Homo-oligomer: A and B are copies of this chain.
């Protein structure tokens, strides 16, 4: 079993590669009780979450991860992952900073996102 830092890194890499190539495929990373809060708008369940992600008003997007920090979130193998980075949206010249937190829960040898909170972070 990899340690939580390795799992966090692998999840983050897979998540953003998938997001940036075909957002719909992120469905595999959520479950019916998963929650997404995207810019303070809440969605719950795979369908609502993917619908929200698909509806975001940009086409091509590139996430550039700057930092990944992880901690165990419970005694059952859960992991809290906090990401900071930049994203560049097609048609925009300037990247934006963001922060995103996941709680990953183990299931059948893999992990899914039970919690997902995304926020743009504006310059202070």
Which residues of A come within 8 Å of B, CB atoms? 35, 37, 40, 42, 66-67, 69, 71-74, 78, 80, 82, 84, 86-87, 94-97, 99, 101, 103, 114-115, 117, 119, 121-124
Contact = CB atoms under 8 A, between A and B. Distances in A.
A74 B71 contact: no
Oligomer: number of copies: 2
B71 A117 contact: yes
A97 B69 contact: no
A37 B71 contact: yes
28 contacts: A35-B71, A35-B72, A37-B69, A37-B71, A37-B82, A42-B71, A67-B119, A69-B117, A73-B103, A73-B114, A74-B74, A80-B80, A80-B101, A80-B115, A80-B117, A82-B101, A82-B117, A84-B119, A86-B124, A94-B124, A97-B121, A97-B122, A99-B99, A99-B119, A99-B121, A101-B117, A103-B103, A121-B121
